[in-house]
C-alpha cells in the first residue's frame, strides 16, 4: 500500500489508483457493507487522512464494476477518476486548497473566484456551491452516480452552507454528498442533522508503523525509531512525513531543544514558527512539561516515552514548584496564542522561563 495523498511525487503515481490508508481498511469495509448514504458527513482529528478516505469512497461510488466494496481501478470510470477527469466528480474546496488533492483537478470542475479578493480564496463561496449544484439538477454524464465532495465543510461561507442545505434536504437520485470536517462542533446543526455522521478512527500504532516503514524516506529507520516519531508527532504518520518534508511543525526538533534547557537555541525555535502555529509549539512544550512532572513523580511519561532517559535526567535537576507554576503559565499562554501579537517574542519569553526551571 502506498499513500498517494502524502505527496504528489510519491513512489506510486496517482494514475495507478488511490490506495486507502491501511489504518482505515477494516473500518472502511464495515462502513461500506452497511450501505453508503446519499448525505455523509465524515469527521475526525486533523492529519489522520480524512481526505484520503473521502476520495477512496468517491472512487468506489463512481466505479462501474465495484469489487467487494472497493473500486476496481480498471473500468472507464475508474480510469477517468484516477486521471481527475471524471465528469461526475465535483470536489469543492477553498480555492487555495486544491493542491491538497493528489491530482490536478480538471479546471472545468473548479469554479474560480470571479472577484479579485484573494482573501476569499480560503473560504468556499456560494458561487462554487451554487454552480455545481445547478449542474447536478441535470442527469449524470455516465448515467450512474454523481459525487460532490466538500472539504472542509467549515470553510463554507454561511450563504454557501445555506445553499447546500436545500440540496441536502432533497438529494437528487444517485447524487452523493461527501462532506468532510475537522471540527464537527463548528458545522451548522441544520447540515449535521441532514447527514449521516461518520467519525473516522485515529491511525492505529501497528498499521501506522508498517506504513511508515514502507515509505522510502523512512525505510532506513528501525521500528523503535519509527514508533518514537509516531508518538512524538501526535500519533499521526502523515504528520511524520509532513515534518520530514518541512511542511508542518517538527516536534522532534523542538524536543531536541527542550532536552538541553541551558543551551536552547532560540533562533532554531523561532524558525519553527515558519511552518507551525505558536499554539502547536506551546502544546508540545506543555506535553513535555507534563512528562517531566510524571517522571519526577516516579510515573512513566505519557507523551514521549521514547525520551524517558532524558526526561529522568532533567527531572532530577528541576525546580518542581517552579514547574507547577510554569504549567499554569502555559495554560494562560495557550489561551493567548490563538491571536498572538508577537509570536516570536512570546515564544522566546516562554522558553527563557522554561530554562530557569533547571538548577545549574
In the complex, the residues that contact Zn ion under the rule CB under 5 A are 63, 65, 71-72, 75, 78
Closer to Zn ion by Cβ: residue 12 or 65: 65
Q: How far apart are CA 272 and CA 266, in angstroms?
A: 10
Q: How far is the CB of 145 from Zn ion (least distance, A)?
A: 12
Q: How far is the CB of 77 from Zn ion (least distance, A)?
A: 5
Q: Which residues contact 90 (CB under 8 A, 6 or more apart)?
A: 109, 132, 135, 136, 146, 147, 148, 149
Residue 217 DSSP symbol: T
Pick the closest to residue 177 from 26, 42, 32, 30 (CA basis): 42
Closer to Zn ion by Cβ: residue 144 or 305: 144
H/E segment holding residue 67: none
Closer to Zn ion by Cβ: residue 79 or 344: 79
Closer to Zn ion by Cβ: residue 140 or 181: 140
Q: How far is the CB of 66 from Zn ion (least distance, A)?
A: 7
Q: Which residues contact 9 (CB under 8 A, 6 or more apart)?
A: none
H/E segment holding residue 259: none
Residue 92 DSSP symbol: E
Residue with cell 517531566: 292
Q: How far is the CB of 298 from Zn ion (least distance, A)?
A: 57
Distance of CA 51 to the CA centre of its chain: 8
Q: How far is the CB of 32 from Zn ion (least distance, A)?
A: 14
Closer to Zn ion by Cβ: residue 48 or 54: 54
Amino acid at each position: 500500500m502506498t499513500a498517494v495523498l502524502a505527496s504528489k511525487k510519491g513512489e506510486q503515481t496517482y494514475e495507478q489508483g488511490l490506495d486507502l490508508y491501511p489504518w482505515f481498511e477494516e473500518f472502511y469495509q464495515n462502513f461500506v457493507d452497511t450501505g453508503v448514504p446519499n448525505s455523509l458527513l465524515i469527521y475526525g482529528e486533523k492529519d489522520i487522512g480524512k481526505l484520503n478516505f473521502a476520495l477512496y469512497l468517491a472512487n468506489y461510488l463512481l466505479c462501474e464494476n465495484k469489487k467487494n466494496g472497493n473500486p476496481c481501478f480498471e473500468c472507464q470510470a475508474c480510469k477517468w477518476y484516477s486521471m481527475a477527469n471524471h465528469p461526475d466528480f465535483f470536489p469543492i474546496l477553498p480555492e487555495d486548497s486544491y493542491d491538497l488533492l493528489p491530482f490536478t483537478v480538471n479546471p472545468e470542475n473548479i469554479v474560480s473566484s470571479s472577484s479579485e479578493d484573494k482573501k476569499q480564496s480560503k473560504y468556499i463561496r456560494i458561487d462554487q456551491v451554487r454552480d455545481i449544484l445547478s449542474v447536478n439538477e441535470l442527469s449524470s454524464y455516465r448515467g450512474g452516480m454523481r459525487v460532490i465532495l466538500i472539504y472542509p465543510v467549515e470553510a463554507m461561507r454561511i450563504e454557501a452552507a445555506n445553499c447546500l442545505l436545500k440540496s441536502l434536504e432533497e438529494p437528487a437520485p444517485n447524487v452523493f454528498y461527501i462532506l468532510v470536517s475537522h471540527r464537527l462542533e463548528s458545522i451548522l446543526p441544520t447540515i449535521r442533522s441532514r447527514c449521516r455522521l461518520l467519525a473516522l478512527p485515529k491511525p492505529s500504532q501497528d498499521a501506522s508503523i508498517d506504513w511508515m516503514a514502507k515509505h522510502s524516506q523512512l525505510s532506513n529507520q528501525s521500528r523503535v525509531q519509527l514508533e518514537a516519531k509516531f508518538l512524538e508527532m501526535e500519533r499521526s504518520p502523515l504528520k511524520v512525513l509532513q515534518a520530514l518534508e518541512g511542511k508542518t511543525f517538527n516536534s522532534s526538533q523542538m524536543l531536541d531543544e527542550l532536552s538541553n534547557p541551558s543551551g536552547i537555541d532560540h533562533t532554531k525555535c523561532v524558525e519553527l514558527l515558519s511552518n507551525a502555529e505558536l499554539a502547536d509549539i506551546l502544546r508540545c512544550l506543555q506535553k513535555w512539561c507534563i512528562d517531566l512532572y510524571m517522571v519526577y513523580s516516579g510515573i512513566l511519561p505519557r507523551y514521549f516515552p521514547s525520551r524517558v532517559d532524558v526526561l529522568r535526567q532533567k527531572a532530577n535537576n528541576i525546580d518542581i514548584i517552579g514547574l507547577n507554576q510554569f504549567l499554569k503559565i502555559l495554560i494562560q499562554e495557550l489561551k493567548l496564542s490563538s491571536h498572538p501579537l508577537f509570536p516570536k517574542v512570546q515564544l522566546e519569553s516562554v522558553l527563557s522561563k522554561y530554562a530557569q526551571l533547571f538548577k545549574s
